[in-house]
Amino acid sequence: MGSGANLAVLHRIFISIESMFRLDDTLSLTTEVLIRYLSETWERRMQRTVAVNDGKVQLFDSHLQKIVSLDKIFKTNAEWKKILTPEQYHVTTEKGTEQPFTCTFKDNKEAGIYQCLRCRTDLFETATMFDSGTGWPSYYEPVSDLNIKLEEDHSFGMNRTEVLCARCEAHLGHVFDDGPPLTGKRYCINSAALKFTKE
């Protein structure tokens, strides 16, 4: 059953309940208001869900300096494998990790934007990069929280927070709570998942 059908059914249920309360004069107006509020809140939530599931995603464009709506990118593993190098595929698609101190951008000081290798979504700015001593590129904040997706990661017996691209869901790395005082965050990102663009 689609979201529209679900919403219609829920509306009928709410209307039926509201009608029953109206038949009983002993029930307060507060109860009726509460039911109406719940009905409206559910409708708004369903509308947001439909908007999220329509294949679009809102991202912040660093060049335009505004939020834009773009199509999400869906490819099979086989399709990604055809267009990525073995290391890029292993990191972004198989959620692998490159060897520390071998990363392409670890010592880069040029001003610019680090984008998702797979879909060119803006992810991090050079200005937010710092030396964490871990051997991987580290940043204290993303370009926008809209551009990344965070998920719990319990692999290898550890409790971590995985960082993914919001548009194509490429695995980027992990975020930790041991970063600089400004944000307290350390986004530990694989350079194999990034493409650097100069300003």
* pLDDT tens-digit readout, 60-101: 999 999 999 999 999 999 999 999 999 999 999 999 999 988
Average pLDDT, the chain: 82
pLDDT at 14 over 70: no
* pLDDT in the model for residue 28: 46
Place of tokens 């030396």: 131
Contact 125, 144 (CB under 8 A): no
* pLDDT tens-digit readout, 44-71: 444 333 334 468 999 999 999 999 999 9
The verdict on whether 188 is a catalytic residue reads: yes
* pLDDT in the model for residue 103: 80
* pLDDT in the model for residue 45: 41
* pLDDT in the model for residue 54: 61
Structure confidence at residue 39 as a pLDDT band (50, 70, 90): low
pLDDT at 17 over 90: no
* pLDDT in the model for residue 151: 97
Whole-prediction pTM value?
0.71
The residue annotated as part of the active site, out of 103, 119, 165, 188, is 188
* pLDDT in the model for residue 20: 45
* pLDDT tens-digit readout, 102-157: 887 767 788 999 999 999 999 999 999 999 999 898 999 999 999 999 999 999 89
What is the three-state SS of the chain? CCHHHHHHHHHHHHHHHHHHHHHCCCCCHHHHHHHHHHHHHHHHHHHHHHHHCCCEEEEEECCCCEEEEEECCCCCHHHHHHHCCHHHHHHHCCCCCCCCCCCCCCCCCCCEEEEECCCCCEEEEHHHEECCCCCCCEECCCCCHHHEEEEEECHHHCCEEEEEECCCCCEEEEEECCCCCCCCCEEEECHHHEEEEEC
